[in-house]
Amino acid sequence: LAVDHDVADPALATAGAGRIAWAAARMPVLRSIGQRFGEAKPFAGIRIGACLHVTPETAVLIATLAAGGAEVALCASNPLSTKDDVAASLVVDHEVATFARRGEGVAVYASHVQAVASREPHITIDDGCDLIERLHSSGPERLRSRVAAADLLGGTEDTTTGAAHLRAMAAAGVLTYPVVSLSEATTRAMADNRYGTGQSVLDGIVRATNTLLAGAKVVVAGYGNCGRGVAARARGMGASVIVTEANPLRALEAVLDGYEVMTMRAAAARGNVFVTATGNRDVITAADFAEMPDGAILANAGHFDVEIDVKALAELAGGRRRPVRPGVEEFTVGGRGLLLLCEGRLVNLAAADGNPAQVMDISFAVQALACEWLVRHRGELEPAVYGVPAEIDGQVASLKLATMGIEVDELSPGQLAYLKTFGG
Ligand SMILES: NC(=O)c1ccc[n+]([C@@H]2O[C@H](COP(=O)([O-])OP(=O)(O)OC[C@H]3O[C@@H](n4cnc5c(N)ncnc54)[C@H](O)[C@@H]3O)[C@@H](O)[C@H]2O)c1
């Protein structure tokens, strides 16, 4: 094979190619960006190092960047999410240097990140900072001189947690190059957190339990983007929805959106399905479990498995716990069976397929355009964390609408001048 690689089995390429084609067919925004990149070659002579979940959607992103002339190398950002057949197809069909094996141990994982870092990428793409960290740990001075020579242009970071870490690095003066934080893009918060998570969380709950949502009381904790999405989809399926919040503004919004709002303690006795989406810990605790009706379903949509106090649930149940379906464990508390899904981990990833390709299309379109922005601003940016420029958000929204055949009104020069003078 022509490119450097470490994948489980290149013979899996045919299966991987099929899955990549399935995703690509559902990612028209990235396709249209890929067509433009193919003509304009914005990444001619640019090496891109990517540390991402090795999935079919990621493969479509990588192919888009390669179409723009980039020489891309890829490693996994999580050993458990790697699809070995996709990794094989990237090597065999796309000649992308790929270093990823599903289930790889810590040492192999680190060697794969190193394999990408050692290619001295001009642009890094991260989902959790591993590549950025690796580059920084191998000599910040060298990075600084590469930045000064406009040989290292910048990076992108996908996660909110990663962006917070990078901001701390920037504040401490140890971040050596500019990074665009993608999770704050408006298109992304909308498509990913609200609509993608909103749908896939309910998908996970239904797949795990086959419960009927119509007529059920669904309690949604947290009315951020994820919570709003879950609440709206649950209502759409005929559930009556109760929202719990800690922020009065968000609570008021939920009330005005037509939901019942109350404390978790009050909601505990009334709910049939509980979904946490707060990003906080101990949202459902022992005192709440004690109130819940028989058959209550407990699911978490937040990033970490700390929102439902699973330890307290186990203590209340004593030994009275048993698996009842794949991904469902029943805890008997005061004679009532409470059903915990996927040990309190992200229910949409553990019990369903995560975000649909159409959602990843938008997220990765932002990613591809952010990389192009870094090239356009070569040598102009500070070593800091940048938000996604508003024009990229607008461009992605326009492209998505165009791929759906939807036209929107264009403001006339007179209207633009009016808004400038009198608009908010
Ligand atoms: N499952 C997924 O695929 C997926 C996707 C995106 C984000 N997330 C995660 O979901 C969580 C929420 O994301 P978001 O974008 O909606 O965040 P957000 O910050 O917009 O909203 C969280 C809301 O929860 C509220 N809250 C905090 N503590 C609370 C408590 N104890 N009780 C009730 N409400 C409380 C906050 O006031 C806030 O309004 C995060 O952990 C995020 O990482 C998961």
What per-residue confidence (pLDDT) applies to 49?
98
Distance 186 CA to ligand 1 centre (A): 16
Q: Which residue has the higher pLDDT, 177 or 80?
A: 177
Per-residue b/e over 196-228, b at no fewer than 16 CB within 10 Å? bbbbbbbbbbbbbbeeebeebbbbbbbbbbbbb
Q: 193, 253, 274: which to mutate for ligand 1, most atoms within 8 A of CB? A: 193
Residue whose Cα lies nearest atom 37 of ligand 1: it is 247
Is residue 424 over pLDDT 70? no
Is residue 219 over pLDDT 90? yes
**With contact defined as beta carbons under 8 Å apart, do 269 and 314 qualify?**
no
Residue whose Cα lies nearest atom 19 of ligand 1: it is 224
Distance 47 CA to ligand 1 centre (A): 36
Name residue, tokens 């303690």: 265
Q: 278, 281, 283, 303: which to mutate for ligand 1, most atoms within 8 A of CB? A: 278
Residues of the chain above pLDDT 70, percent:
100
| Token pair listed for 207 | 């797949």
Beta bridge partners of 298: 274, 340
What per-residue confidence (pLDDT) applies to 344?
95
pLDDT digits (tens, 9 = 90+) for 347-356: 998 899 888 9
What per-residue confidence (pLDDT) applies to 102?
93
Distance 341 CA to ligand 1 centre (A): 18
Distance 278 CA to ligand 1 centre (A): 3
Q: Which atom of ligand 1 is nearest to the CA of 160?
A: 43
Predicted TM-score (pTM) of the model is 0.87
Q: Which atom of ligand 1 is nearest to the CA of 282?
A: 31
Alpha-helical regions (H) of 210-333: 225-236, 248-256, 264-268, 286-289, 310-317
Is residue 301 over pLDDT 80? yes
What per-residue confidence (pLDDT) applies to 303?
83
Distance 160 CA to ligand 1 centre (A): 11
What per-residue confidence (pLDDT) applies to 187?
95
Q: Which atom of ligand 1 is nearest to the CA of 250?
A: 39
Q: Which atom of ligand 1 is nearest to the CA of 225?
A: 16
CB atoms within 10 A of CB 250: 17
Distance 75 CA to ligand 1 centre (A): 29
Distance 62 CA to ligand 1 centre (A): 30
Is residue 36 over pLDDT 70? yes
Going by their DSSP bridges, the two strands 328-333 and 336-341 should be labelled as: antiparallel
Cα 159 to Cα 183: distance, rounded to the nearest angstrom = 6
Residue whose Cα lies nearest atom 18 of ligand 1: it is 224
34-56 mean pLDDT:
97
Q: Which atom of ligand 1 is nearest to the CA of 279?
A: 41
With cut-offs at 50, 70 and 90, classify the pLDDT of residue 236.
very high
Residue whose Cα lies nearest atom 7 of ligand 1: it is 193
**CB-defined site of ligand 1, < 6 Å:** 192-193, 197, 221-227, 244-247, 250, 277-280, 283, 301-303, 346, 348
DSSP per position, 359-387: HHHHHHHHHHHHHHHHHHTTTT--SSEEP
Q: What are phi and psi of 284, to 5 degrees?
A: -120, 120
Distance 392 CA to ligand 1 centre (A): 25
Cα 85 to Cα 19: distance, rounded to the nearest angstrom = 9
Give ∠ CA 119-125-129 in degrees, rounded to 5: 100
Per-residue b/e over 323-341, b at no fewer than 16 CB within 10 Å? eeeebbbbbbbeebbbbbb
pLDDT digits (tens, 9 = 90+) for 69-84: 999 999 999 888 899 9
Distance 201 CA to ligand 1 centre (A): 13
Amino acid letter for position 307 = E
14-34 mean pLDDT:
97
Is residue 323 over pLDDT 90? yes
Cα 121 to Cα 47: distance, rounded to the nearest angstrom = 5
Is residue 423 over pLDDT 80? no
195-223 mean pLDDT:
97
With cut-offs at 50, 70 and 90, classify the pLDDT of residue 176.
very high
Residue whose Cα lies nearest atom 21 of ligand 1: it is 224
Cα 48 to Cα 218: distance, rounded to the nearest angstrom = 44
- Nearest in space to 122 (alpha carbons), one of 171, 73, 58, 185: 73
Distance 316 CA to ligand 1 centre (A): 26
What per-residue confidence (pLDDT) applies to 276?
98
CA-CA-CA-CA torsion for 247, 219, 81, 194, nearest 10 degrees?
-60
**With contact defined as beta carbons under 8 Å apart, do 274 and 298 qualify?**
yes
99-106 mean pLDDT:
94
184-213 mean pLDDT:
95
Q: 280, 355, 359: which to mutate for ligand 1, most atoms within 8 A of CB? A: 280
What per-residue confidence (pLDDT) applies to 80?
82
Distance 275 CA to ligand 1 centre (A): 11
Distance 182 CA to ligand 1 centre (A): 17
- Nearest in space to 94 (alpha carbons), one of 131, 61, 45: 61
Cα 283 to Cα 243: distance, rounded to the nearest angstrom = 13
- Nearest in space to 98 (alpha carbons), one of 106, 107, 82: 82
Q: Which atom of ligand 1 is nearest to the CA of 283?
A: 31
Residue whose Cα lies nearest atom 39 of ligand 1: it is 224
Distance 274 CA to ligand 1 centre (A): 14
| Mean pLDDT of all residues belonging to the chain | 96
Helix (H) or strand (E) segment spanning residue 52: strand 47-52
